[in-house]
């Protein structure tokens, strides 16, 4: 799957969860691919979608971050990003390995997508739309908290953050 789609999926989900963690989740969502370059630079021969794409490896990292140790959710965001990458890759024809114990490929939903074709853009687009929808549906419950995707201009006005002129100029700008 292409990076733009990995980034869109991880970025949108994290923006709903914790906007400040988006950069780390995005870094993690591309990590299975760039870690291959790092390993290669370190002199190891790595075939694409092998060691850095173990589903079990990222799931284990995420469990570790959630249960054992983390620093301001940084490791959680990074590993969740990595896990989202390998799960998204498992939708494709090539699939991903579940873990180090087997060469067999793991496919989700039959692994029908082909990298670079429209399918993966649809998947990523659906994720982003779902996150925007979720955000729109829940934004009123969080009251004054920052919400991604939507700029709540009337609310900023009431909080005295902006003056009337700014509100008038921006009231129809929601994105």
What is d(CA 54, CA 2) in angstroms, rounded to the nearest whole number? 18
Q: What is the DSSP letter of 117?
A: S
Six-digit token string for 154? 């009337």
Judged by CB under 5 A, the stretch of 17-25, 34-42, 58-66, 88-96 that binds Zn ion is 88-96
Kindly state the smallest distance separating residue 44's Cβ from Zn ion, in Å.
17
Q: What is the DSSP letter of 49?
A: T
Comparison of 32 and 148: residue with beta carbon closer to Zn ion = 32
How many helices (H) does the chain have, and how many strands (E)? 7, 2
Comparison of 34 and 174: residue with beta carbon closer to Zn ion = 34
Binding-site size for Zn ion (CB under 5 A) equals 3
What is d(CA 40, CA 65) in angstroms, rounded to the nearest whole number? 26
**Looking at beta carbons, which pairs linking 134-137 to residues 24 or more positions away fall under 8 Å?**
134/16, 135/15, 135/16
Comparison of 30 and 170: residue with beta carbon closer to Zn ion = 30
Kindly state the smallest distance separating residue 89's Cβ from Zn ion, in Å.
5
Kindly state the smallest distance separating residue 46's Cβ from Zn ion, in Å.
12
Question: Is residue 28 within 8 Å of residue 88, measured between CB atoms?
Answer: no
Comparison of 127 and 153: residue with beta carbon closer to Zn ion = 127
Kindly state the smallest distance separating residue 102's Cβ from Zn ion, in Å.
18
Kindly state the smallest distance separating residue 85's Cβ from Zn ion, in Å.
6
Judged by CB under 5 A, the stretch of 7-15, 23-31, 86-94, 134-142 that binds Zn ion is 86-94
What is d(CA 29, CA 83) in angstroms, rounded to the nearest whole number? 7
Q: What is the DSSP letter of 54?
A: -
Comparison of 12 and 86: residue with beta carbon closer to Zn ion = 86
What is d(CA 155, CA 111) in angstroms, rounded to the nearest whole number? 45
Asked if 89 interacts with Zn ion (CB under 5 A), we say yes
Which residues 136-155 are close enough to bind Zn ion by CB under 5 A?
Answer: none
Which residues 2-41 are close enough to bind Zn ion by CB under 5 A?
Answer: 32-33
- Tell me which residues touch Zn ion (CB under 5 A): 32-33, 89
């Amino acid at each position: 799957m292409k990076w733009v789609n990995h980034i869109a999926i991880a970025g949108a989900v994290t923006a709903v969860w914790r906007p400040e963690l988006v950069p780390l989740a995005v870094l993690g969502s591309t990590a299975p691919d760039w870690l291959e370059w790092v390993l290669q630079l370190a002199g190891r021969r790595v075939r694409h979608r092998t060691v850095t794409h173990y589903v079990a490896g990222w799931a284990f990292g995420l469990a570790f971050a959630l249960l054992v140790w983390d620093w301001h959710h940084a490791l959680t965001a990074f590993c969740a990003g990595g896990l989202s990458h390998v799960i998204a890759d498992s939708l494709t024809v090539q699939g991903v390995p579940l873990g180090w114990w087997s060469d067999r490929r793991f496919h989700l939903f039959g692994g029908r997508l082909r990298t670079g074709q429209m399918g993966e853009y649809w998947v990523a687009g659906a994720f982003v739309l779902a996150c925007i929808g979720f955000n729109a549906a829940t934004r009123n419950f969080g009251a004054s908290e920052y919400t991604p995707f939507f700029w709540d201009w009337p609310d900023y006005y009431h909080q005295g953050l902006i003056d009337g002129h700014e509100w008038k100029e921006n009231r129809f700008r929601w994105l």
